Structure formats: structure tokens, C-alpha cells
Amino acid sequence: MQHGDPEATQAGRIEIDPATGLARGLRQVLSPHRDARPAGLQPELIVVHGISLPPGRFGGSWIDRLFCGNLPSEADPYFATIQGLRVSAHALVRRDGAVVQFVPFHARAWHAGVSEWNGRSACNDFSIGIELEGTDIDAYEDAQYTSMARLVRALRSTYPGLGPDRLVGHDQIAPGRKTDPGVSFDWARLRRLVAT
């Protein structure tokens, strides 16, 4: 299911409807790979991921199809190795800066896996997962940093528990198991942009 205008917020401010958890104007491809957060929990952490499908290649609809559970195993040899994987993220920032939303921000996306942050396990329960189309070693694009900063600002204004210290990489909540968003990700740059 797709909604929204992919160009609408590329140069403007992103606004999130707290009642629906949806960002106005973003392209939405709603994933079935989600459920409700445990009672009383609100987003308190933003987890930055990196993804490319097939690995090292950009563009196309493969990430959308993975998150929606209809990735064709015969389309690439790698896809057969992840057949049946049930994962999602709240949003994806593509190489050109376009943002796609897959899960309402107040719902639980299945992005973190086995994870821990500040002594709390099961990070999916209290986090928002944002994927950047990229790899651990390829530089991320200027447009991705700009869009990511807009999205983080919108999330912080909607969910008060997302303070400045609540922005981490997948590698930080699943060390030894995950390496994304990788050494190519410029954390200082993102934090500067979020602050402006």
C-alpha cells in the first residue's frame, strides 16, 4: 500500500501526525512486519541502519519488497539466502534523499533483532529504526544526511523521549553482530545538521 508524494518533503519540513504515527507527504509502503509496542512504551531511541539489496547495489524496489515480505528469491542468488526473513524499519532514506515510511512511528518495527542499549534489551520495543541505503564502506550521500536530519528533528518534536543522546547505530546496540551503518557514516555531520 503506497501513499504520499515522494517529492513533497525533500526541501521542506517533515511533520508527523501523532495520532497515526505517519509522516505527512512521505511515500508510504506500509509493511505487515510490525506490531504494537508494549503498553506504555513510547519511542526513546533512534537506531541508524545501513542496507543495500543485493549487497553493494543501490536503487530499485528490493528493499521495499523485503520489508513487505514479497522479495522474490529467484531474482538474485542472495535473495534465496534471506527468503522468509520478516524484518522492517520505520523508514528508509534512499541515496537521493527520498524518504519512504514502512511502519507508523508509534508502532514497533522489526529492525533491531537481539539488542541492548544502556542495560535495556529488546530495543525494538522502545526504538525507531531508520535505514540508510548504503554500505559500511561507501560514503553516504549529502542528500541522505539532509533528509535524515529533517526526519530526526521531526521525530524529536513529536516524541519527547528522543533527546540528543538517543541517536545510535545498529552496531552500538548489537556489537559483534552488526556493523552498520559502518565506518563511512559521519556521525558528527548528522549531529550538526540535526542541531541546526
Which are the catalytic amino acids?
131
H/E element, 5? none
SS3 17: strand
H/E element, 41? none
User: Can you say how many angstroms the Cα of residue 65 is from the centroid of all Cα atoms in its chain?
Assistant: 15
Q: What are the Cα distances from residue 32, in Å, to 29, 61, 87, 143, 153?
A: 10, 16, 9, 28, 26
Q: What is the Cα gyration radius of the chain?
A: 15
Q: Which residues neighbour 77 within 8 Å (Cβ) at sequence distance 6 or greater?
A: none
Residue 111 to residue 27: CA distance in whole angstroms: 19
Buried b or exposed e, range 47-61, using 16+ CB within 10 angstroms: bbbbbbbeeeebeee
